Amino acid sequence: MKKELINKMDEFILSSIKDSDSSTIDSFLEESGYDLSDIKRIADKSYKKISFSIKGQMNSQKDEMLLEKAVKYFQEAIDKNIEKPISYLRNLVASNQLAFQHRNLDKLSHDEIKSIIKDHNLLEILENLENDEEL
């Protein structure tokens, strides 16, 4: 009997939500002793937290895609021996002051190229490479 009552209440709440009748839900919650302003505050806080987290994940994925694009571009330039991107990569290597300085660029791995360009302005790198490509 108790389970049946709970199921009916759940059905009523879900149908009210589906019908967008928030006043019914609000009155039900108030009658049950809940403070609507507290519920709204908690809901707003949760929404902001989730929204911030999703935006962060989206930005992280976007950055990773751009980084992969730049790495692929540099790898192709090395394979095809295209001077301008190779020169640009050498400048990035020199500015990083990493152990990569003394290695041949054609022996750099995907992850090493990624490490070299990761500390620089990725958008600037891609714009410079695309501008050089247009010339």
pLDDT at 99: 52
0.85 surpassed by pTM:
no
Domain ranges, ordered by start, for the chain: 2-50, 58-134
Contact between 36 and 29 under an 8 Å Cβ cutoff? The reply is yes
Residues of the chain predicted below pLDDT 50: 102
Can you give the pLDDT at residue 55?
92
pLDDT, tens only, 65-99: 988 988 888 888 888 888 888 788 877 777 765 55
- Torsion angle defined by CA atoms of residues 106, 110, 111 and 112, in that order, rounded to the nearest 10 degrees: 20
Cα of 46 vs its chain's centroid, Å: 19
**What pLDDT is recorded for position 15?**
75
The predicted pLDDT at position 133 comes to 64
